[in-house]
Amino acid sequence: MMTIENILKEMENGNCAIYGVRTDSKKYVAGDWCDISLDTCDNEMLGELDGTSATGFGFLYFDGEQEDIDEVKKALDFNWDFYKEKYDAKYQYIIGGDEYDYGQDEHEIIIKNAKVICLIEK
């Protein structure tokens, strides 16, 4: 199982400007490009978003301090609890990209051209 310290190392080496946590029913491996997320409201499909939906992190220093570990744990837990049943999800990932916008859901960001950085074992 990947530790939060290992997740932070993967993110630090991921060469992306922005990172997020994604919970999905689809199995990916590190390096895969993520599918574009769908825009929904009250279970009605409204089209595609301009990227892949993820839960954003607060500021990360990548300095090995407890503050980063706590921030990653908080985002992982929030994301899993919010999305696992809503989308019949089985997998959780760290995804990254270079551009993003804010989404409609709590803590949601939309990462453009997102790729999988690592799989979080559940």
Residue scoring higher pLDDT (102 or 89): 102
**Entry pTM:** 0.92
- Reading phi first (left if > 0) and then psi (alpha if -120 to 50, else beta), residue 86 is in alpha
Q: What average pLDDT does this structure show over 101-114?
A: 95
Compute the distance between CA of residue 20 and CA of residue 47 in angstroms, rounded to an integer.
22
Name the nearest CA neighbour of 7 among 100, 76, 83, 109: 76
Tell me the per-residue pLDDT of 30-76, one tens digit each, with 9 for 90 and over: 999 999 998 877 677 778 999 999 999 999 999 989 999 999 999 99
Enumerate residues 6+ apart whose C-beta is below 8 A from 7. 72, 94, 118, 120
The domain total for the chain is 1
Q: Residue 122: pLDDT band by 50, 70, 90 thresholds?
A: low
Range(s) of the domain holding residue 49: 4-120
pLDDT(6) > 80? yes
Compute the distance between CA of residue 64 and CA of residue 68 in angstroms, rounded to an integer.
7
Q: The domain spanning residue 48 has which CATH number?
A: 3.20.170
